Structure 1
Amino acid sequence: MPPQSGVNVGKPAPGPDVGQLFTWDEIGLHSGKGNSKEDKWLVISRKVYDISRFHLLHPGGTRVISHYAGQDATDAFTAFHKDEDQVRKYLHSLLIGELAPDQPSCEPTKNEMLINDFHELHATVKKMGFLKSNYPFFIFMFLHAFLLDIAAWLTIWYFGKSWVPFLTAVALFTIAQIQYGFLQHDFGHISVFEKTKWNRLAHFFVMGVLKGGPASQWNHMHNQHHAKPNCFRKDPDLNMHPLLFTLGKPLSVELGKKKKKYMPYQYQHKYFCFLAPLTFTIYIQLLIFRYTIQRKKWIELAFILIYNIRVCLMYVPLMGFKSFMGLYWLARFLESNWFLWISQMNHIPMNIDYDQNLDWVSAQLSATCNVDQSWFNDWYTGHLNFQIEHHLFPTMPRHNYWKVAPLVKSLCAKHGLKYQCKSLFTAFADIVRSLKESGEYWEDAYLHG
């Protein structure tokens, strides 16, 4: 039976027995680009779905699902949804057909053998229980962060606000906040509790009451990062490009040829360590209020205000408003430094480009690398030293990354994929090195392009 087209874009599908067959070329025409920005189809397990309207209602955010318009989203769907059977019920009304029998299960440009092997690996990982969490581990991670938070206040309460207790409190407060950050990351990825709703509630609490941020904003931004890591205009973590930094060879050359010079990028490796965390600190605080107000997230805004009122009531009576502002903003700046170096050591040195529509495994490996395992590295990075495993299995509890790492290495070796792992110091140095190289690519293109 020859492939058929002619589906009316935007109209609800009549149900699963549509009977229409499509080719990958036809599906690629519905990518939400050009003259058909609201025309979006995607493929999940050979089924074709019209998300032209649904993307606006998608619980995970409109952009993350739209990034797969015109593409195969099977592995992304599996990675993001813990209870696939429940979610598939909502796909029923979006189904408009399926791939024609003569069409491969993935786009012809992708490695079907690698994809099939990864599906087998995912089934093995699930069967071995690596997607199930160890509750005592997460209880310990919460308690140790909470005790550090309390210790920061007790230090000021008992010793006063002279320099030694002040800096001690700053250190304790910073560590508590970064560990809360790793914990909210766990809840945000639905990797702690079996039920999604319990993860969402815990995420809402930790992010709002303990960190002073909106959980929905984190989901909106971070899910996109995982869906299309290091893909310019699809990964929000690249949003500072090109205002402050130029990242990766293709984008640096493009920026240079266009004679764009917002900053002296040839020196970006020198100003990154100060300007990046300073900008991030200010940008995030402003973005929090802008996001909650623009999107009318009033409950989350209320929790953010509760957080700020709480810390003021805890510290201002003990040390005065000015000293508290010094403690709070110094801690936020240090936290931003910690977070940026940890998060970017796995990504900035890797391939950065526009979306090349790679298969799930190749896309994650080209954009991520690991850092050596040790007790300190695991704690200091929130287990994000296993960034490869985290990106391949976003809902996996972090205490299981080391268990699945040998299986991932075997998959990479079988298909000739590079599995990068380095020391913590090398990972930090590679950030500076890659920024320097990108600046040189920009400068050469700017002067001679």
Structure 2
Amino acid sequence: MDPSTTKSTILSPSAIEELVNDGATLVIYGKAVLKLDSWLRYHPGGEKTILHMVGRDATDQINAFHSVETQKSMERFQIGRIEGKWDNIIPLFQRASDGKNILEIGQHGDRDEENSESSACSRASSVFETNGLRSRAAGTESPASSISASSEDISKLATDALAPESKGDVERDEDAIVASFRELVAQIEAQGLYDCNYWAYLTDVIRISIIFSIMLLLLHFKQYILSSIALGTFWHQLVFIAHDSGHLGITHNYTIDTAIGLLLSSTLGGLSLSWWKTSHNVHHLATNSPSHDPDIQHLPFLAVTPSFFSSLYSTYYSRIMPYTPFASTMMRFQHHLYYPLLCFGRFNLYFLSWTHLYQNLGPKHPSMRWHRPLEILGQLTFWYWFGYLLLYHSLPTLSSRVLFVVISHAVTMPLHVQFTLSHFAMSAKAGERNESWVRQQLRTTMDVDCPAWMDWFHGGLQFQAIHHLFPRLPRHNLRRASEVVKVWAAENGVRYEVYGFVECNGRVLGRLEEVGRQAGFLREATRSVVEKGEWLRGEWE
């Protein structure tokens, strides 16, 4: 970067793109060009959230996640300005993952000479995607024209075949959508929906305290099964407050909300808020992206799009997600295993939390170094009261302890179902480079409709689409915000999908069953290629 540049320097698009291609961490905010290289490793939300925004206009994303004070503090990173409309470029971080996917395919190809079945699976996958999916999606393509389709077309068709609802959006100029959405944000703020309802949080605290007391009382009277149910319900309700604190949605003060979340999540729930924030923030920015969103990366057990059949590279986990024969088998039953698997979801969260803390992947800024020790202390406290005092000291036999653990964790299953409902059946294709923030979120997220009296069960977070648009909005106000967004979406021709709880479950199960069916087609194609290859080798010999 030329040292003579100042905040008022006009930077051309070509100059910005050249800097990005050279590795500079540049983000567009309004008309300002921010260079975040020095802040990357200190970002409280994790460096990957920034890397996904490099070379893009992140104005709405930054405004959604940060307070006005934080937004103003970003001026110190400004190195210039742009004129006119910025045309987004694909971040190097995402381009690098695409390159690794291609490299991995090549590496598989080298090994496939020694493994005919793996090679056949790769070739069958290509035939399956070009012929099978295109014929199912369009129904009019000839085999020859299908086979000549590009990989980009194939990926698009593979997802569109499962997400026809994305076709229904009324096309409008994205600039008009963005301008209208920013007016909507101002309207939400003017209505006071960002103001926290502390009485509602007091009610939450009273409710979860009563549930915890009931759990202890039932334990005292040796009602172990009922006690385990009460503990699972306690964790279910506790997550809602921890979630709000992670989004700074309680006091909107970073230190206070973070302290609340760290204490609650680790000490009472055994989970790392620091891990959750780094994962969840990426989920918000790269929603339903197979390569980038950790919340839909569940191989080898679940796949919500045929894109996972290609052994994608996960930018979040920094590794290939292999589509193994075991994963292929699991696809056949995934719509039946959806609920049982989510009964054990909490165990995976323990593992991810411990890994995060052990590897010290939390915030690195000196002012935030207290996060990790506080969470480790919270983890030790959790496993003392839950692991020793409750399980070991209070339960008489090994079988009662195992049963208590299984039931208490399975009771939290509806919480995992709720979060996946809003995304698993929605579009998992890549949006256009200049797709607006609001259209991206409403394309990949749907809301669950239910009576107001059920908000205590869902925690208000059944309005996931609204939460994604306004992540710092207190969840007690999401229902009111939903009514405002419904009107806005209708006026602007943007699809906002809201379905009843039963229909949402049906849509998710239908998606999982359809992906499983397509995995079956791939298995049959693989078997056919193997048999044909063996026949050809016999002829040559």
When normalised by structure 2's length, the TM-score is 0.72
Do the aligned residues in 1 keep the contact of 2:296 with 2:424 (CA within 8 Å)?
no
1:310 aligns to what?
A: 385
1:213-266 deviation line (CA, Å, top 9, x unaligned): 2211111111111122111232111232x32222225x156469x985442213
1:141 aligns to what?
A: 204
Identity of aligned residues (%): 21
Equivalent residues in 2 for 1:44-193, closer than 5 Å:
44-81=29-66, 83-89=67-73, 91-100=74-83, 103-104=84-85, 107=88, 111-157=174-220, 159-160=221-222, 165-193=223-251
Residue identity opposite 1:374 in structure 2 = P
> What is the aligned counterpart of 1:288 among 343, 353, 356?
353
2:263 aligned with 1:205? yes
Do the aligned residues in 2 keep the contact of 1:252 with 1:442 (CA within 8 Å)?
no
Q: Distance in 2 between matches of 1:146 and 1:29?
A: 56
Larger radius of gyration: 2
When normalised by structure 1's length, the TM-score is 0.86
From the superposition, tell whether residues 94 and 143 of structure 1 become closer, same or farther in structure 2 (CA, over 3 Å): same
Look up the SS of the partner of 2:81 in the other structure. strand
Look up the SS of the partner of 1:422 in the other structure. strand
2:86 aligned with 1:21? no
From the superposition, tell whether residues 117 and 304 of structure 1 become closer, same or farther in structure 2 (CA, over 3 Å): same
1:375 aligns to what?
A: 452
Do the aligned residues in 2 keep the contact of 1:152 with 1:172 (CA within 8 Å)?
yes
From the superposition, tell whether residues 360 and 397 of structure 1 become closer, same or farther in structure 2 (CA, over 3 Å): same
> What is the aligned counterpart of 1:248 among 283, 305, 312?
305
Q: Distance in 1 between matches of 2:87 and 2:181?
A: 13
Residue identity opposite 1:117 in structure 2 = S
Q: Number of aligned pairs?
A: 420
Worse overlay, 195-204 or 348-357: 348-357
Q: Distance in 2 between matches of 1:431 and 1:318?
A: 40
Residue identity opposite 1:99 in structure 2 = I
From the superposition, tell whether residues 389 and 292 of structure 1 become closer, same or farther in structure 2 (CA, over 3 Å): same
2:513 aligns to what?
A: 436
Q: Distance in 2 between matches of 1:172 and 1:14?
A: 61
Q: Distance in 2 between matches of 1:255 and 1:314?
A: 42
Worse overlay, 216-225 or 284-293: 284-293
Q: Distance in 2 between matches of 1:329 and 1:40?
A: 46
Q: Distance in 1 between matches of 2:489 and 2:76?
A: 38
Do the aligned residues in 1 keep the contact of 2:296 with 2:303 (CA within 8 Å)?
no
Q: Distance in 2 between matches of 1:95 and 1:26?
A: 15
From the superposition, tell whether residues 13 and 64 of structure 1 become closer, same or farther in structure 2 (CA, over 3 Å): farther
Residue identity opposite 2:286 in structure 1 = K
Do the aligned residues in 2 keep the contact of 1:47 with 1:95 (CA within 8 Å)?
yes
Residue identity opposite 2:481 in structure 1 = V
1:296-322 deviation line (CA, Å, top 9, x unaligned): 733311211111102232454332363
Look up the SS of the partner of 2:381 in the other structure. helix
Worse overlay, 211-220 or 316-325: 316-325
